[in-house]
Chain A
Amino acid sequence: MKYFIAALGILTVFWPGKTALVEAKELPGDLPAFSSASATVRKLPYVYTEWKHFTVKNGLPNDHVFALKADGPKVWVGTENGLACIDKRTGKIKSWGEKDGLPWRVISALDINTKTGELWIGLLGGGLARFSGGRFDHWHQLNSGLVNDVVYGIAIENDNVWVATTAGASRYNTLTGEWTIYTEKNAPMEEIWNYGASYDAGKVYLAIWGSGVLEFDVATENWKHYLDPDGEMEIDLYRDDGIVHVITTGISHIDGILWVATYFGMSRYDGRYWRGMYAHETGLPSDFGNAIKGRSANEGWFATDKGLGVLADFPSDTWVTYTMDPKTHRGKAIVSRNQKVLESIDMPKGIPHNYTLWVEFDGNDTWVGTSKGIGWAIGSGYYKGLKDRPVHEAGDVRTKAIE
């Protein structure tokens, strides 16, 4: 994939005008392109060109960012060495470590109970914590019904907190204090290695390493499971027959669409049809998906080990691929459709590192966690799907970065 991107990048640099014109002729009829006196205009997705970075230099406790959660004017940050909170209005960062009462330094997951405002914190090897009113409360294997202390994912469902752990899932009722444990004994988990959790529209979704995706209906307490139909680890027999692989790493459900990340490719499910996505045929920078966040039925963001892949408009298979030049540290966004590059945008700043680990939406903005800091993508004028706009010419310097 990197060769594909590099080659297309070179092509774009050397033949900027031709690329756009040739592409325009090959577009399907419903996506016309036309040239004005100043620039070619075509149906294109929104591209984030304004980025701000946060690293230890700005006050983060650690650059290795595993989780982010937007909460009004604040963004909570879970790092490998502590919790942080960014005040978007001032840009100031406050942080908490073990000396401040944080039960364990490595934070792997975050979620907010919007009803109470409590921050729930998943700890890699430390269990579960709640941060509320300036106080940390701690649950672990020895003092609660938390099934394991190695936590990978958290989802708030009504008054319950779902915790995806390495040895099953736990559900904690914050009103009654009741815990329920889900393992292979009472749920259709072929393996119990839970990785991600998501709640939407009355259902909890669990991404389970080796067991695909489980769906829990809160009203009926029934489980439904989704596996790779070929049942084989070393192949994906048919791309669109189900999840591309049973080793799932991330899950997100929105607008009736299930988005799934694996270390082998990605999947989208609309309740009837599956669509598998691989780097060699899409705008995904890599098949190694660390996280997925669906923004709508047609927009999914994939955090991979080689950059950020955004399926910006599912019906037209239009992608925006964000990467960082490892030499110059400049950002790059490539818009492609059906593997054809429509525009390549060079930016002073983009994602802070190509090893991306998390995505969080915040109104029109997007936050990206990486292994070398956070990228705040400012979505001035953000729009969903596609709209007619001028094509960014290669080397376009209209974009700006916020220092």
Chain B
Amino acid sequence: MKRYMILFSAVLVLCALSCAELEEGKTKSIETHVQIDPETLDVLRKINSVSAYEVPDLGLPADDIYAKTAQDVEPFRHVKPFKEHFLIQVEYTGPGRALPEPQDLETVKLGFIGPIMSTVSVATGGKSHEETLGIKMLQGARLAIEHANAKGGYFKRNIPFELVVTNDNGLWGASGNEIVNMVYKDKAWAILGTIDGANSHIAIRVALKAEIAMMNSGDTDPTFVETNIPWAFRCISDDRQQGYLLVDYLYRKLGLKRIGIIRASSRYGRFGVREIKDGSRRLGNPIILEMAYNLGTRDFSLQLERLRKENLDAIIHWGDAIEGARILNQMRDMGMKQPYLACDRCLSDEFIEIAGKNAEGVICPSPWNPKGKNKRLTEFRKAFRKRFGEEPETFAAHAYDGMNMLIWAVQVAGLNRAKIRDMLAYRGTPWKGVTGDIMLSACHDDVGDVYLAKRKNGKWNFYSREDLKIPRGYISPRDRVSRPPAISSNIKLRTME
């Protein structure tokens, strides 16, 4: 009885507090049909209370340091820069929050853009090459929509979510047209996509003009978020984070010195290795040789002969799985026995099928741990297998998370593009996804943990930095402009275990 009395009293107090708070703030009624934490409720109250001319006083999320960058791999670390970007969130100051929710909808449309149909590749002039990834991405997004609809769809109106699917055909510029169509013709409320770095950039430029949130779950180009667009988000760790881990592993852990790179002559290849090259140079081990190949190449002897002559300690590949596997096979055929490290796109069945036993010992960075002990992941795997008859991989899992983040934002914010953006931008707690906890940085990037995958006994094993005891460079707790520049290069910086 006593227990019930306490419970009853607590409910009364909570009700009283809740009423008092609403009265005091004189906010509009909070119409939400999902469970939300007090912090989110506060954000919702504030964004619901502003006029077309006001900006909600929410305080801007800020980071002390950009992208968890160690001091010894910061660019121009001995100089105090005049300005450091991306530490404070760029806010949306337009009038969009005052737009009323439409009443006459039959579905809530969410956009999808990804490479799902074969077309001409800009890079090769031949067949495009990213459909295998895009189709996985679509499967993940579709499953998220289906799960949301099974739970009742858009709760506020009891109407289903509808996925508006468009093909990112790989031709530069086409993604811009697709975003325009999704915004103005299909009237989507938010969009997920895409994979290609160039097309993703094009898409978010349109999203900025048209004012619609874009969640990216497949483009690991570090520059995607380095654009200051308040409408762009990413829920996958990028090549910067993966590059930092590789650099730490190669130099701080293994103590290697002579590293070579072979990469695709594409934006993905070019930008993917940038942090590895910069990090290597800044740690005193400049990349010995970097060779590029055209997409679709089958014979890599020219590149490999040059690399062989350099007596390298290890070789890094950045490109697609097929080329990655062929390069590995040719390396081994040529008697090159160096450790082979490849980008996360090589963590695929395609790579294993082509590389065969040569895949043994290959190391890849991974934006997540697909073998992590996570109940959500287990359930997702089960549901994915049941729905599509196959295993989910990186692109499917991240798309599932990304689409679920958008659905959550819609459920909480209602049908208003600016408020959907706000919910993602001001979320104060990590998103509990199937790929792990996703906490967005001030510039809306997923800077969560990345992993190293090692192929052993025919299986990929995933290791965290801690598992492998990979040292990390000292990360300053202060931004670069307000702290003294790094000490002279000939004095070794502190290393954190």
Contacts and interface: CB of A to CB of B under 8 A. Distances in A.
B86 to A, nearest CB: 6
B173 interface: yes
B480 interface: yes
Contacts of B173: 147-148, 150, 165-168, 192
Contacts of A210: 201, 223
A326 B202 contact: no
B176 A326 contact: no
Nearest to B50: A326
Contact of B83 (A63, A236, A247): A236
Nearest to B203: A166
Nearest to A106: B184
Interface in B53-108: 53-55, 66-67, 75-76, 79, 81-86, 90, 93-95
A232 B55 CA distance: 31
A326 B81 contact: no
B10 interface: no
B209 interface: yes
A263 B85 CA distance: 10
Contacts of A239: 82-83
B180 interface: yes
B480 A235 contact: yes
Contact of B54 (A148, A167, A230, A327): A327
B226 A233 contact: yes
Interface in A230-268: 230, 232-239, 244-245, 247, 263-265
A234 B184 contact: no
A88 to B, nearest CB: 26
B206 interface: yes
Contact of A234 (B84, B90, B94, B209): B84
Contacts of B53: 324, 326-327, 329, 353-354, 372
A371 interface: yes
Interface string A188-218: 0001110100000000000001100000000
A78 B184 CA distance: 16
Given A125-B184, A326-B51, A235 B76 contact: yes
A166 B95 contact: no
B180 A125 contact: yes
B227 interface: yes
A237 B77 CA distance: 10
Contacts of B93: 305-306, 354-355
Given A191-B201, A327-B54, A371 B177 contact: no
Nearest to A127: B177
Interface in A75-122: 105-106, 108
A234 B75 contact: yes
B408 interface: no
Categorize the interface residue count of chain B. Answer: 35 or more
B9 interface: no
A66 interface: yes
A237 B82 contact: yes
Interface string B179-210: 01100100000000000001001100110011
Nearest to A241: B82
A263 B227 contact: yes
B228 A124 contact: no
Contacts of A245: 85
B85 A149 contact: no
Nearest to A233: B226
B52 interface: yes
- From B206, B209, B210, residue with most partner A Cβ within 10 Å: B209
A107 to B, nearest CB: 11
A247 B227 contact: yes
Nearest to B51: A326
B229 interface: yes
B76 A193 contact: no
B300 interface: no
Given A150-B202, A167-B173, A233-B223, 14 more contacts: A124-B180, A125-B180, A148-B173, A150-B173, A166-B173, A167-B176, A235-B84, A235-B85, A237-B81, A263-B90, A326-B53, A327-B53, A354-B53, A372-B53
27 contacts: A66-B209, A105-B184, A106-B184, A124-B209, A125-B176, A148-B173, A150-B202, A165-B173, A193-B205, A195-B205, A233-B85, A234-B66, A234-B75, A234-B84, A235-B76, A236-B81, A237-B75, A263-B90, A263-B228, A265-B83, A276-B82, A327-B54, A353-B95, A355-B95, A371-B94, A371-B95, A372-B95
